[in-house]
Amino acid sequence: MSDPVRAENQNYAGPEVIAATAFRIERDFRGLVDNLRRTMEMVDPSDDELRERLANTKAAADRGLRLSKLLLRTTRRRRA
Per-residue pLDDT tens for 25-57?
999 999 999 999 999 999 999 999 999 999 999
Task: Look at residue 16 in the predicted model and tell me its pLDDT.
Answer: 83
Q: From 62, 74, 80, 60, select the one nearest 21 (Cα to Cα).
A: 74
Helix, coil or strand: residue 1: coil
Question: Other CB atoms closer than 10 Å to residue 61's CB: what's the count?
Answer: 20
User: Is residue 80 scored above 80 in pLDDT?
Assistant: no
Q: Which residues contact 71 (CB under 8 A, 6 or more apart)?
A: 22, 25, 26
Predicted TM-score (pTM) of the model is 0.76
User: Is residue 76 scored above 70 in pLDDT?
Assistant: yes
